[in-house]
C-alpha cells in the first residue's frame, strides 16, 4: 500500500484560466505589487459574494488584523472569538494587544453557539466589559447561524467580523458567507477552496473603511511626493501575479463547490450508516461548500477512535486530520476566558476528541476516494477495529 501515490487532505487545484492572467502580468511587466489583476480580482470577489468593496491582501490573517484595527481594537479591549478554529483567527487579537474570550460551538453547525454568546454578553455587560468585536468563524465551508448572533450583537452594539476563510462560496439565507458582519475575510492559502498560493481578502459595504485599510496595508503613506508618514502601516498587499491566479481560481469556484459537495455526499453514502459515524450536519439556513468533509466517530459504537483512523490512513499514505484543536485548550491561551455551549457541555471539546477531516480536494479522483473509503471500511469491518481502539 505504501507504493500508492499520497492522497492529500486539500491540495491546490489549478484550472484553465489562471495561466493566462499570470501571463498577462508578465507580458505587461506588471509583476510588482498591485496592478490591473489586483483590481479585477477585488471587483470579481465583491461581485461574487455581494459586498460593495473588497481589498486584496497578502493573507487572511492580514485581513483580520486590519479589520480589528478598523474597529479601533487596542490594549485593554476584549474580543469574543469562536474557540473551534485555526489559530490565525486569534493571533491578530494579540497583535493589537487585546484579549480573546472564547465562545463554544453548537452541535447543529459546529460554529459559534448563540447560547454561549448570549451568556458571555450578559456577564460582560454586567461587568462593564463588553467586547470591542465578535469574530465569528465559519468552519469547514459552513456559515454560522448568524441571525441570532447578529441580534445579540446589535442589542449590545458590538460589531461582527466574519472569518470566512473556510467558507467562501457558502450561503446564509441567500447571502454570501462573509458578507453579514461589518467586515468579512477570506483566505487564499494553499489548502483553501480556491488559492493564490497565499493571499487574503477583506470585504465590506463600508468603502471608506476599506480605503483606510488599503492605506495601512501599503505602509501608510501620506499624500506627498516624498515619503511622509503619520501612522503605523504594514506591507500587506497582494502581488499582481498572485491576483492573476486568483481571478482564474474564482471563475472555477462554482464547479469546485460542486466537486467538494459530491465528495462529501459519496463519503456519506458509503460510510454514513457505519455504527457511530456522524457527519458534520448541513444547517437548513444555507448551503455549505463542504470545503472539508468532517465527521465524528463515537469510539464506543464504532469500536475504533478517530485518532486510530487517522493513524491507519497515514500508514497507507492518506492524509487526514483531527478537527481543529479548540483555542481554549491551547497553551498560548491558557489564561483566557472560555464560555461553553451550556454550563455542563463543551461541544468543541467533543468535536476535537472525536472528529476528523477526510481528503476533500476538488481534484480527488473517484478511484482515490474509493481507496480512502475502502481503508476505513476495512478498519471497521475487518476486525482491526478492536485492536486499534
Ligand X SMILES: *Cc1c(COP(=O)(O)O)cnc(C)c1O
Residues that bind ligand X (CB under 6 A): 59-61, 85-86, 88-89, 137, 163, 165-166, 187, 189, 200
Q: Which is closer to ligand X, CB of 124 or CB of 357? A: 357
Q: Residues 249, 253, 259, 260: what is their CA dihedral angle, to the nearest 10 degrees?
A: 100
Q: Which is closer to ligand X, CB of 142 or CB of 171? A: 142
The minimum distance between CB 194 and ligand X, in angstroms, equals: 12
Q: Which is closer to ligand X, CB of 271 or CB of 323? A: 323
Q: 148: part of which helix (H) or strand (E)?
A: helix 146-155
The minimum distance between CB 89 and ligand X, in angstroms, equals: 5
Q: Which is closer to ligand X, CB of 139 or CB of 287? A: 139
Q: Which residues contact 349 (CB under 8 A, 6 or more apart)?
A: 326, 329
Residue number of the CB atom closest to ligand X = 60
The minimum distance between CB 75 and ligand X, in angstroms, equals: 23
- Identify the CA nearest to 83 among candidates 187, 163, 177: 163
Q: Which is closer to ligand X, CB of 264 or CB of 324? A: 324
The minimum distance between CB 145 and ligand X, in angstroms, equals: 17
The minimum distance between CB 62 and ligand X, in angstroms, equals: 7
The minimum distance between CB 86 and ligand X, in angstroms, equals: 4
Q: 202: part of which helix (H) or strand (E)?
A: strand 200-204
Q: How far from 299 is each of 48, 143, 385, CA to CA, in Å? A: 42, 28, 10
Q: Which is closer to ligand X, CB of 88 or CB of 376? A: 88
Contact 249, 195 (CB under 8 A): yes
Q: Which residues contact 143 (CB under 8 A, 6 or more apart)?
A: 109, 111, 164, 167, 170, 171, 172, 177, 283, 285, 286, 288
Task: Give φ, ψ of 202 to 5 degrees.
Answer: -105, 130
Place of cell 459595504: 205
Q: List, edge to edge, every strand of the sheet that includes 321-322.
A: 277-279, 293-297, 355-358, 321-322
Q: Which is closer to ligand X, CB of 221 or CB of 321? A: 321
The minimum distance between CB 387 and ligand X, in angstroms, equals: 34
Amino acid at each position: 500500500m505504501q507504493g500508492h501515490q499520497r492522497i492529500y487532505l486539500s491540495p491546490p487545484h489549478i484550472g484553465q484560466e489562471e495561466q493566462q492572467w499570470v501571463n498577462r502580468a508578465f507580458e505587461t511587466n506588471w509583476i510588482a505589487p498591485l496592478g490591473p489583476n489586483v483590481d479585477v480580482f477585488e471587483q470579481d470577489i465583491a461581485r461574487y459574494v455581494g459586498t460593495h468593496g473588497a481589498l486584496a491582501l497578502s493573507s487572511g490573517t492580514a485581513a483580520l488584523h486590519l479589520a480589528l484595527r478598523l474597529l479601533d481594537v487596542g490594549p485593554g479591549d476584549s474580543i469574543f472569538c469562536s474557540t473551534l478554529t485555526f489559530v490565525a483567527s486569534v493571533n491578530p487579537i494579540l497583535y493589537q494587544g487585546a484579549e480573546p474570550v472564547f465562545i463554544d460551538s453548537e452541535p447543529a453547525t459546529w460554529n459559534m453557539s448563540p447560547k454561549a454568546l448570549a451568556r458571555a454578553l450578559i456577564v460582560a455587560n454586567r461587568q462593564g466589559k463588553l467586547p470591542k468585536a465578535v469574530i465569528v468563524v465559519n468552519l469547514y465551508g459552513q456559515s454560522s447561524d448568524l441571525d441570532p448572533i447578529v441580534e445579540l450583537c446589535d442589542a449590545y452594539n458590538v460589531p461582527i467580523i466574519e472569518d470566512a476563510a473556510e467558507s467562501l462560496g457558502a450561503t446564509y439565507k441567500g447571502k454570501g458567507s462573509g458578507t453579514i458582519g461589518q467586515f468579512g475575510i477570506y483566505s487564499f492559502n494553499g489548502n483553501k477552496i480556491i488559492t493564490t498560493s497565499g493571499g487574503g481578502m477583506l470585504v465590506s459595504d463600508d468603502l471608506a473603511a476599506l480605503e483606510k485599510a488599503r492605506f495601512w496595508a501599503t505602509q501608510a503613506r501620506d499624500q506627498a511626493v516624498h515619503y511622509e508618514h503619520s501612522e503605523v502601516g504594514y506591507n500587506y498587499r497582494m502581488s499582481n501575479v498572485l491576483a492573476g491566479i486568483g481571478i482564474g481560481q474564482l471563475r472555477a469556484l462554482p464547479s469546485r463547490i460542486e466537486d467538494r459537495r459530491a465528495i462529501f455526499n459519496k463519503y456519506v453514502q458509503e460510510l454514513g450508516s457505519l455504527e457511530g459515524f456522524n457527519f458534520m450536519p448541513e444547517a437548513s439556513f444555507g448551503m455549505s461548500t463542504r470545503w472539508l468533509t468532517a465527521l465524528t466517530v463515537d469510539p464506543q459504537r464504532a469500536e475504533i477512535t478517530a485518532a486510530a483512523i487517522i493513524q491507519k490512513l497515514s500508514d497507507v499514505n492518506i492524509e487526514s486530520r483531527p478537527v481543529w484543536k479548540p483555542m481554549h485548550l491551547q497553551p498560548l491561551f491558557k489564561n483566557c476566558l472560555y464560555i461553553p455551549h451550556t454550563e455542563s457541555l463543551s461541544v468543541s471539546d467533543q468535536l476535537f476528541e472525536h472528529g476528523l477531516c477526510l481528503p476533500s480536494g476538488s481534484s480527488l479522483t473517484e478511484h482515490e476516494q474509493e481507496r480512502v473509503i475502502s481503508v476505513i471500511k476495512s478498519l471497521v469491518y475487518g476486525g482491526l477495529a478492536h485492536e486499534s481502539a
